[in-house]
């Protein structure tokens, strides 16, 4: 049971695990909330449960969502409705375990209800926590309507989440920070990093006529991502590097923010702001890039803690120079050092120095290649990580 598959990545951690378990002979069913169209191949059933009336973006959907969202805070309407539907559809099916993966709370309560009815253990995979960004900001950027009363919203969800996690057979999560935090709730917590699919993300030399610095993914608030150093660096280097091009693939809201930023920093003539591409096109974009950017911020105060974004692992697997801006000064920076994946810039000068170094490589070769520490990188191979999940379930 899982929170919805959303663009642009469509839950890669869950997708690869399901692919792996299916290949190993496991029989599984996935139940999730209906959200975006599922634009990926899968050899196992995925059942999407429609919880709101109308099409997303319609007036009917908006009104129904607002009413049910309020009911959700008071009575957890959403999890109750989801649990009823899953129990109805699986009434005649026997399972050995329920695995619930989520970024927050939904559908943890529903998963526990299904596990209890079937008298089987519940395993929880937690990708993100409300507490990893201060002041309930993580929840508020997901749900705009909660900003007026996000403290209450956060407390309700944290209380529900923790109640379920205490009863889980085991918990898996994505970073050492998350492990330390969750072990206080349930000692049976272990680390399984996000990672990359080696059949998709691998190095291949692709020569380009332009020196491409690329970013692919969503843009979040500045407390989570501070791209200031990147824009300052490009602004200072654009005359020195006539071939430099900054490309972005992001959502509509992110595109508008970036258009304002590139004008503000005087680099609009060196930027291409694009919409999302299909997940199948992303590995090729990494290979065409001279530098791949991961956006972050300092991991203290209100900054993000334990944010080991999937993009980081995919770029490392592609063996492309990676620029983290601004450095989290924590787990991501340490992982970059361990894997020799690139640079974690704490200052504009550090970002500039790295871009210049990679630019010289590109001028000579026409493409770039990062000499990663292959032994360290293999720790992030999704094949090995899915085997960790399998061993946990077999116990």
**pLDDT of the residue at 140:** 45
**Beta strands 244-249 and 211-216: pairing type?**
parallel
- Chain CA centroid to CA 357, Å: 29
Order of strands across the sheet with 122-126? 98-102, 122-126, 170-173, 189-191
Quote the pTM value: 0.85
**pLDDT of the residue at 134:** 61
Instruction: Give the three-class secondary structure for 277.
Output: coil
**pLDDT of the residue at 148:** 55
**pLDDT of the residue at 147:** 56
Q: What are the φ and ψ backbone dihedral angles of 386, each rounded to 5 degrees?
A: -65, -35
**pLDDT of the residue at 347:** 97
358: how many CB neighbours lie within 10 A of its CB?
A: 22
Helices assigned H by DSSP within 289-381 = 310-318, 331-339, 348-365, 374-377
Report, as ranges of residue numbers, the positions in the chain whose pLDDT lies below 50.
Answer: 136-142
**pLDDT of the residue at 149:** 61
Write down how long the chain is: 395
Number of alpha carbons in the 13 Å side-chain half-sphere of residue 251: 9
CB 367 within 8 Å of CB 205: yes
Please state, in angstroms and rounded to a whole number, the distance separating the CA atoms of residues 246 and 357: 17
Question: With the CA atoms of 44, 9, 55 and 147 taken in that order, what torsion angle do they form, in degrees rounded to the nearest 10?
Answer: 130
């Amino acid at each position: 049971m899982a929170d919805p598959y959303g663009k642009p990545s469509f839950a890669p951690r869950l997708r690869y695990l399901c692919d792996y378990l299916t290949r190993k002979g496991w029989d599984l069913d996935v139940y999730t909330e209906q959200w975006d169209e599922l634009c990926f191949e899968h050899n196992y059933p995925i059942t999407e449960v429609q919880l709101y009336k109308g099409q997303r973006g319609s007036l009917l959907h908006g009104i129904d969502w607002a009413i049910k969202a309020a009911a959700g805070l008071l009575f957890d309407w959403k999890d109750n409705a989801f649990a009823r539907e899953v129990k109805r559809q699986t009434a005649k099916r026997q399972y050995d375990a329920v695995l619930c993966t989520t970024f927050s709370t939904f559908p943890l309560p529903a998963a526990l209800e299904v596990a209890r009815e079937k008298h089987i253990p519940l395993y929880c995979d937690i990708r993100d926590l409300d507490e990893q960004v201060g002041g309930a900001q993580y929840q508020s950027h997901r749900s705009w309507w909660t900003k007026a009363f996000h403290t209450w919203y956060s407390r309700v969800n944290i209380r529900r989440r923790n109640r379920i996690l205490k009863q889980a057979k085991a918990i898996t999560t994505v970073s050492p920070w998350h492990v330390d935090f969750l072990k206080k709730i349930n000692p049976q917590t272990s680390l399984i990093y996000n990672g990359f699919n080696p059949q998709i993300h691998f190095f291949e030399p692709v020569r380009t006529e332009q020196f491409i610095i690329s970013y692919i993914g969503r843009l979040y608030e500045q407390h989570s991502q501070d791209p200031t150093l990147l824009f300052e660096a490009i602004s200072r280097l654009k005359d020195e590097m006539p071939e430099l091009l900054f490309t972005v693939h992001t959502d509509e809201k992110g595109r508008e923010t970036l258009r304002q930023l590139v004008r503000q920093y005087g680099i609009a003539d060196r930027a291409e702001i694009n919409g999302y591409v299909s997940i199948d096109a992303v590995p090729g974009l990494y290979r065409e890039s001279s530098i791949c950017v991961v956006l972050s911020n300092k991991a203290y105060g209100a900054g993000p803690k334990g944010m080991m974004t999937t993009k980081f692992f995919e770029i490392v697997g592609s063996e492309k120079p990676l620029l983290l801006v601004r450095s989290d000064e924590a787990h991501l920076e340490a992982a970059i050092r361990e894997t020799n994946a690139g640079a974690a810039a704490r200052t504009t000068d550090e970002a500039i120095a790295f871009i210049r170094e990679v630019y010289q490589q590109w001028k000579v070769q026409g493409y770039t290649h990062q000499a990663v520490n292959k032994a360290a990188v293999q720790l992030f191979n999704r094949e090995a990580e899915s085997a960790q999940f399998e061993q946990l379930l077999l116990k």
